[in-house]
Amino acid sequence: MLGSALAVQKRMLAVAIAALTFAIYVPALRNGFVGYDDGDYVVNNPHVNTGLSRANTTWALSAAHTNNWHPLTWLSHSLDAAIFGLDPRGHHFTSLALHAANTSLMFLWLAGATGQPVCSAFVALGFGLHPLHVESVAWIAERKDVLSTFFLLLTLLAYSSYVRKPGLGRYALVFLSLTAGLLSKQMLVTVPFLLFLLDFWPLRRTAGVGRRLIEKLPLVLLCLAAGLATLWAQRRGGAVSLLDQLPLAIRLENAVTAYFRYLGKVAWPSGLSAFYPFPSAGIPVLQVAMASAGIVVISFVTLVCRSKRPWLLVGWGWFLLTLLPVIGIIQVGMQSMADRYMYVPMTGLLIAAAWEVSARVQFSTAATRAACATAAIVLALWSVGTWIQIPIWHDGVTLFRHALEVDPDNFVAHDNLGVELDRRGQSDEALEHYRATLRLRPGDRNGEANFAMASFAKGERLTASGKFDEALSAIRDGIRYRPRNALAHTQIGRILSQGQSPQLPAAIAEFRAALAIDPQFAAAHMGLAVAMSMSGHPVEARTGFENVLRLEPGNVEAHYDLGLMLATLGDAQGAFRHFEAAVRLNPGFGNAHVALAEMDAAMGRYGDAWREVQLARAANAQVDPVLVSQLQAVLARK
């Protein structure tokens, strides 16, 4: 009876922990999609936003989209899209529910493995409420963290069950749970080694080392395959930094210092950011030496204390092992660290802290009460920090403005803020952030592309407003970074061919530059043809208009302009044919009706000419009064 009552209490405590975690994260339901990868993952991804289907499932199983291969993550997003559409509240709800479930599973596994529910509750609540985990939970595109950890915790529960009563069925559950976790995120590749560590404590397995190693071999092979799949996906997408781009020495320096930066973020979670730029200028030698020495000393101390305080070795090992795949030795992206990478590794530090404090206060009631009070205060402070951090992920502008408050020289934050402002139509402010990106990170391909496209868009807007000089300046700013852009050269050509004093030779040169980049660009052919016509080169103009119609047979303006050129060159029949094509495609094209009226009159078809005049007037086109008078006189005599 007592055992049954304790089991019920443990399950009730697990539910309470999950409920408290969910309640703290409820404000995330008011957040939207932030744009930062959310478009690639959900909003603009037709393989996801159309919901679950056979085609989308096939894509999820085979795609290396966004430099990752995680089929279960894609399927979870597709399921959300099927249920909630593109309402972000539904997508956030799923992530929150998974995070709350993870806190509950964390408690159940740890309490079951150690028999200490109080310490286990602190670890589970610390895991659930720490501000470092906001990124993993409140960022929809980071679903892979909460989903993979859900399966990791099922793996730990299955492994504990297997240790208590070994059997093929229980081992199969371990294998399948880990497989599901790896199909959600391959950061779990070090889990077999974590299980070997947990054999020492809290599971206290007495089986020989060799047997336990052989036992993990299928899991190691599974993780090796998952790791190779990750490298394939990331190299295919160009996300893995090569040694000539980022030397191994610099990566190792960042790795050892990052371990201590993460420790600092756990102890004092301030200055959190969506992106921490890689220290391109390098890291001071003294800082690297101190961090390296710190890792060695802590590792040595935990090893020495392993008999009396095994949780220190296990907690520290958990932290080192689970963070290893993303510590930056194999560098993916431009970040030096990321809050989301601590979603699993932090647990090891919490375990070490909780059991060490418990061991030190267990013989003193006053000390125990003080420790419990301190733990409650710490959890409360973390909850407040999380509550404050969640709205920062409300949208992309809020997210990256905050990142720039943390680090004004964060070039990725400048670049992404520019993208978000562009989406809101705030292009001038967006350009300022793109300029900051290029100042801070010269040669950054992504920043250059965004700056160039924003400059071209600004130029187009200024052209429409008649501010040609400013438009030219904006487009030429963009061309400095993207010189091989046919549209930009075409825009410049159009501007130069307009106005009271058109610069036709320069405009023709720009149109030809555009066609050298893209010979199939109809707009450049059109611009060149018009410029040639204005320059008094009707034969070249005719060729240009014919090229436009070869690429765009339904281009009304090209039919009309080609008709004018053919009329100039004496091909009345060809001209008439193209004027007819223009009005057939657009019956309201008044100028084409005027041209047809003039040609009909010249050929003595006065009734047809008068009908075209009426159609031209209906389209508010200007008709030559002399032609109207002549037609009226002729028709009156009839």
Q: pLDDT digit string (tens) for 556-597?
A: 999 999 999 999 899 999 999 999 999 999 999 989 988 998
Number of Cβ atoms within 10 Å of the Cβ of 9:
11
Which range has the top average pLDDT, 419-428, 450-459, 572-581? 572-581
Q: Which of 71, 94, 69, 68 is nearest to 81 (CA)?
A: 94
Q: 274: which residues sit within 8 A by CB, 6+ positions away?
A: 36, 135, 393, 399, 400, 402, 403, 413
Domain ranges of the chain: 2-393
Which contiguous run of DSSP H or E holds residue 231? helix 209-236
For residue 464, the tally of other CB atoms under 10 A from its CB is 9
| Cα 274 to Cα 401: distance, rounded to the nearest angstrom | 10
Query: For the residues 108-134, what does the mean pLDDT come to?
Result: 97
Q: pLDDT, tens digit, for every residue of 378-396?
A: 999 999 999 999 999 999 9
pLDDT at 422: 85
- pLDDT of 241 over the 80 cut: no
Q: What is the pLDDT of residue 98?
A: 98
Residue 489 has pLDDT above 60, yes or no: yes
What is the model's pLDDT at position 444?
75
- Indicate if the pLDDT at residue 151 is higher than 90: yes
What confidence score (pLDDT) does residue 390 get?
98
pLDDT at 627: 81
Bridge partners, 276 (sequence order):
337
Predicted confidence at residue 635, as pLDDT, reads: 74
pLDDT of 239 higher than 50 = no
Q: What's the mean pLDDT when you consider all of the chain?
A: 91
Q: What number is the average pLDDT over the span 100-124?
A: 97
Whether the link from the prior residue into 202 is cis, omega within 30° of 0, is yes
Q: What is the model's pLDDT at position 68?
A: 83
Cβ neighbors of 456 (< 8 A, separation 6 or more) are 474, 475, 478, 485, 487, 488, 491
Per-residue confidence (pLDDT) for residue 584, from 0 to 100: 92
Average pLDDT of the segment spanning 128-151: 98
Average pLDDT of span 422-448: 84
Task: Please state, in angstroms and rounded to a whole number, the distance separating the CA atoms of residues 450 and 515.
Answer: 23
* 2 pLDDT above the threshold of 60: no
pLDDT confidence tier of residue 3, bands split at 50, 70 and 90: low
Q: Given a cut of 50, is residue 243 above it in pLDDT?
A: no
Q: What's the pLDDT at 169?
A: 96
Average of pLDDT values for 517-521?
Answer: 92
The pLDDT of 475-498, averaged and rounded, is 91
Q: Is the pLDDT of residue 6 over 80?
A: no
- Cα separation, 395 vs 421, in Å, equals 11
pLDDT of residue 540: 94
pLDDT confidence of residue 549: 94
The per-residue pLDDT for range 39-75, each reduced to its tens digit, is 999 999 999 999 999 999 999 998 877 778 899 999 9
Q: Which residues fall within 8 angstroms of residue 378, CB to CB, at 6 or more apart?
A: 126
DSSP letter string over 288-314?
HHHHHHHHHHHHHHHHHTTTT-HHHHH
User: Taking CA 227 as the corner, what is the angle to CA 226 and CA 232, rounded to the nearest 5 degrees?
Assistant: 95
Question: Tell me, what's the pLDDT at 341?
Answer: 97
pLDDT in tens, 296-324: 999 999 999 999 999 999 999 999 999 99
pLDDT score, position 369: 95
Neighbouring CB atoms inside 10 A of 17's CB total 23
For the chain, what is the radius of gyration of the CA atoms? Answer: 34
The helix or strand, by DSSP H or E, that contains position 386, with its residue range, turns out to be: helix 365-389
Instruction: Give residue 638's pLDDT.
Output: 60
